Each structure stands twice: as structure tokens, then as C-alpha cells.
């Protein structure tokens, strides 16, 4: 049997993240209180109280690990917050529980079979919480001595660490000195050193140095001086997904293939071996299975082959929670000549807990637009917000949201830091919504190529 490699995290470099404003970037959670009651406006969520409460119940069961292999369908008209609710669930779960998001149309553009792409999506949504014991050195820095050779220029040094019970001096090599310099570690810092990898982590500033608070600033974290032995064994827990383990064990490049994105199809025998090994780790107490969440937006874009796969996959004991979303009514089931509610076959629909979303009212649209203005750092007058809200009611919420940034650019062009009514009206005339666009096509269809609308109208008049 092939040896299954578990990914180990030893060295890492922190990457600088570029925060970009996206359609759902204002969502921080589901906006529920401790009793799962939805607040009016909280964590970027507005309205949809019934849907949010239902999602909160699902969230609690996911956290408790009590359900797996269940499917949730979020159904509603376009622009009613279906994706926002799914993103709220993802934010509330945190980083320790896997959450995979994909659109139903994605699987048709991948260079692999539809069932393989769904299998990979399922396994990305199943975590393996691996427990490892490592030897560390933990203590408060008493003194650091670094010397540089006059002849070779090589650096050597010593570091003195203490706990509440003991004090020890350690020799430092060149790499350790480089790490200490990079982390800007000084006397009074509480640090840990991984004896295997040599990685140094700063836990914070010792409370014994709390008198330096004014000089260091409010952002400095103060911690207690460690107790007991300086050298100790510590359990380290990290979560990886089954798909990550699949890739590492099926490719020559191993871990690097995770970054390339093009993982290709994975042999089912390798997956079977990995499943057996993970089951063995679980029995030995070295790992736990963490069922995560797979979110498939535009699920009506899947075909009957994919729906059949989902029916079978949901019966697996390792299946994640599957959240589906659609804005379709009774429509064709792709791959068949039949129609179904939301474009889904009845046998899959019967497996779903269905959460219904409802259109936002005028006050809720106003609140959402104010949140988006804050998220996009746009100052807007109350009169402009009233006009934009009216546009959102008459057209769509999405269209009104897209006018925020464009109106701000128009305001900046006239040297204003605040969007006014005239700015909103100007972009409203420059960028038409889908209703005005459709009406224009109906009025001028004869001037376009392939005048199907006029032919259909004439045919209806003849009949």
C-alpha cells in the first residue's frame, strides 16, 4: 500500500493581503444574537429575518458536527440576498471549518469530467483536523547577546529565557539570529521556538514590562510569563482538506500543485487509500473528520448527470453540508425534456431543507445602500440616498448598488467629496438598467441583426 503523506506546516511567510471591495465584502456574519434571533441590521445583514434564523439553526448543527450529507436550498427572486446568506454562514464558521463556493456553470469549463470536478469540490469541503505533538522552547526573553566575528563576519550569540520557575541560556546560530532580528525580538518579549523547524513566534510582551505601555502603544499585546519548564511538548492542531491530501499524494510536485490550480483528475485508488489512512488516524486519535460546507450557486445550471451524482454523494458518511442557491421558478431540468421546481429533479429537491428569501422593502433597500456606501468609502447626501433608494425600488437593488461608485467618480470630477442628487441622476442617465434596455430593444429591434422579436410578434398577430 502506498504511503499517505500528511501535510506538515513548518515554515511560512506572511503574504501581504490586498483588501478589495466586492459584492459581498460587507458581510461579516448572519447578524444573529445568542438565541438565534436576527437583529434588524447587524454584521452587514439587513432583512430576511426568517431566512437568517433558519440559516442560524443550520450553522449551529454544522458547528456541533451533528449533521453531514444534508442539503440546503436557498431559493428566491434575483437580488434577495441568497448569496449573502451563504457568505454569512461562511464568515460565521471561521477558518477552521472548510467552506467551498462555486457556481453551477463552473464545472462545464473545467478540463475534467463533471463528476470529477464535483468530487474535488466535495473533498475540498471535508476537513481533516490533524493533531501532532512538537517540542518547543517557551519563555520570556531576559537577554540577547549577538557577536560578530572580526575576521569572518559570522554572527553568533546567546539568548536567555526564563519562566516563573527557571532560567536557561541557549546558543544561537545564524538562522536563529536572522529570525530574531526579523521579528524584532527584544528583552521582555514572550516567545516560542519550534525545536524541529527553528521557527520563532512572538506571543506578546510580558506583563512585567507593562510600564512601557505608553511608549509601545495600545496595539501591543501583553501576556503572562510562562509557567513550568522552558522546554515542553505541545499539541499542534491544523486542519487540511481531503482534496489537499489527495493532491499531495497524487502528483510529483506534491504540495506545489496546490498553488498551480490545475490538479487534473485524481485516481480513485489513491482516494481510497487516503480514506483508509484517515480512518486509521481517526481510530488512533491522531485526526478528526470536520464536515464542512459546499456552496453551489446557480444550481439550476447543473444537468441531470450532476444531479444524479449529488444524490449518491450526499449518502456518503463523509459528505459535507451542501448549500444550493437558485433564482429560477419552474423551469427545464438541464439534460432532460422535463420541467421541475427551480430546475431541480424532485428526488434531489426532496432531500433539501428549503429556505425561502423575499424581496426587500424600501426601508431595507435604503439600509443596504447605506452599508454599501460605507463599505466603498463613499460620502453621500441624504437627498441622494433618497433618489438612489427610489431607483433601487423601481429597478433592482443590484443596479442601484452599482451606481454608488460611478456617482462617486462623477462627484470627484467636479471636485466634490460628497455625492449629490445631480451625480446620481447623471449616472442614471448614462448607465441604463435592464428594464430600459429591454424597452429600447423592443422599440428599435428592426435596426438590429436577427430581428426575432418582430418575427414572433407578426406570427402571433397572424395566429
Tens-place pLDDT, residues 67-123? 667 899 999 999 888 988 988 888 888 777 888 999 998 888 777 889 899 999 999
The CATH number of 41-125+292-356 is: 3.40.50.300
Per-residue pLDDT tens over the stretch 279-291: 898 888 888 888 8
Q: How confident is the model at residue 19 (pLDDT cuts 50, 70, 90)?
A: very low
Encode pLDDT of 113-154 as tens digits: 898 999 999 999 999 988 877 888 899 999 988 888 777 778
Question: What is the DSSP pairing of strand 126-148 with strand 287-291?
Answer: antiparallel
At residue 426, the pLDDT reads 94
Q: Which residues, listed in sequence order, are joined to residue 223 by a DSSP beta bridge? A: 206
- Please provide residue 18's backbone torsions phi and psi, each rounded to the nearest 5 degrees: -105, 110
Task: State how far the alpha carbon of 456 is from the alpha carbons of 62, 265, 386, 448, in Å.
Answer: 51, 46, 40, 15
For residue 257, pLDDT over 60 is answered with: no
Fold observed for domain 362-431: Helicase, Ruva Protein; domain 3 (1.10.8)
Q: List b or e across 142-168, with b for residues whose CB sees 16 or more CB atoms inside 10 angstroms.
A: eebeeeeeeeeeebebebbbbbeeeee
β pairing state of 321-326 and 293-297: parallel
Q: How far apart are CA 298 and CA 75, in angstroms?
A: 10
- CA triple 65-83-353, angle to 5 deg: 50
Residue ranges of domains in the chain: 41-125+292-356, 132-236, 362-431
pLDDT of residue 305: 93
Q: CB of 272 within 8 A of CB of 303?
A: no
Read off the pLDDT of residues 394-429 as tens digits, 9 standing for 90 and up: 999 999 999 999 999 999 998 999 999 999 999 999
CB 257, CB 247: distance < 8 Å: yes
Assign domain 132-236 to a CATH class: mainly beta
Model pLDDT, residue 151? 79
Amino acid at each position: 500500500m502506498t504511503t499517505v503523506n500528511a501535510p506538515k506546516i513548518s515554515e511560512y511567510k506572511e503574504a501581504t493581503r490586498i483588501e478589495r471591495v466586492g459584492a459581498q465584502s460587507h458581510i461579516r456574519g448572519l447578524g444573529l444574537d445568542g438565541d438565534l434571533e436576527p437583529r434588524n441590521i447587524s454584521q452587514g445583514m439587513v432583512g430576511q429575518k426568517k431566512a437568517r434564523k433558519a440559516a442560524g439553526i443550520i450553522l449551529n448543527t454544522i458547528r456541533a458536527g451533528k449533521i453531514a450529507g444534508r442539503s440546503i436550498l436557498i431559493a428566491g427572486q434575483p437580488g434577495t440576498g441568497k448569496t449573502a446568506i451563504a457568505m454569512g454562514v461562511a464568515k460565521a464558521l471561521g477558518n477552521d471549518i472548510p467552506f467551498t463556493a462555486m457556481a453551477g456553470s463552473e464545472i462545464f469549463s473545467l478540463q475534467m469530467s463533471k463528476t470529477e470536478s464535483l468530487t474535488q469540490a466535495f473533498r475540498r469541503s471535508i476537513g481533516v483536523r490533524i493533531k501532532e505533538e512538537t517540542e518547543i522552547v517557551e519563555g520570556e526573553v531576559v537577554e540577547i547577546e549577538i557577536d560578530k566575528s572580526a575576521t569572518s563576519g559570522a554572527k553568533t550569540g546567546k539568548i536567555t529565557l526564563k519562566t516563573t520557575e527557571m532560567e536557561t541560556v541557549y546558543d544561537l546560530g545564524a538562522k536563529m539570529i536572522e529570525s530574531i532580528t526579523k521579528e524584532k525580538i527584544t528583552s521582555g518579549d514572550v516567545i516560542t521556538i519550534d525545536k524541529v523547524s527553528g521557527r520563532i513566534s512572538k506571543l506578546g510582551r510580558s506583563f512585567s514590562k507593562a510600564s512601557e505601555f505608553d511608549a509601545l502603544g495600545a496595539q501591543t499585546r501583553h501576556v503572562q510569563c510562562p509557567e513550568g519548564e522552558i522546554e515542553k511538548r505541545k499539541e499542534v492542531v491544523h486542519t487540511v482538506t481531503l482534496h489537499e491530501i489527495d493532491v499531495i499524494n497524487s502528483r510529483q510536485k506534491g504540495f506545489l500543485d496546490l498553488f498551480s490550480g490545475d490538479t487534473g483528475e485524481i485516481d480513485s485508488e489513491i482516494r481510497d487509500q487516503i480514506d483508509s489512512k484517515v480512518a486509521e488516524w481517526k481510530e488512533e486519535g491522531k485526526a478528526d473528520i470536520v464536515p464542512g460546507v459546499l456552496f453551489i450557486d446557480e444550481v439550476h445550471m447543473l444537468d441531470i448527470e450532476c444531479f444524479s451524482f449529488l444524490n449518491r454523494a450526499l449518502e456518503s458518511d463523509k459528505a459535507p453540508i451542501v448549500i444550493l442557491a437558485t433564482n429560477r421558478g419552474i423551469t427545464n431540468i438541464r439534460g432532460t425534456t422535463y420541467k421541475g421546481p427551480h430546475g431541480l429533479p424532485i428526488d434531489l429537491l426532496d432531500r433539501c431543507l428549503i429556505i425561502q428569501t423575499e424581496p426587500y422593502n424600501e426601508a431595507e433597500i435604503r439600509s443596504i445602500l447605506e452599508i454599501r456606501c460605507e463599505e466603498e468609502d463613499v460620502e453621500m447626501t441624504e437627498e441622494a440616498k433618497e433618489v438612489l433608494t427610489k431607483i433601487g425600488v423601481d429597478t433592482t437593488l443590484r443596479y442601484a448598488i452599482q451606481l454608488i461608485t460611478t456617482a462617486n467618480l462623477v462627484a470627484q470630477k467636479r471636485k466634490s467629496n460628497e455625492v449629490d442628487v445631480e451625480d446620481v441622476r447623471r449616472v442614471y442617465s448614462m448607465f441604463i438598467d435592464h428594464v430600459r434596455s429591454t424597452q429600447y430593444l423592443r422599440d428599435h429591434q428592426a435596426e438590429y441583426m436577427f430581428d426575432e422579436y418582430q418575427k414572433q410578434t407578426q406570427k402571433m398577430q397572424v395566429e
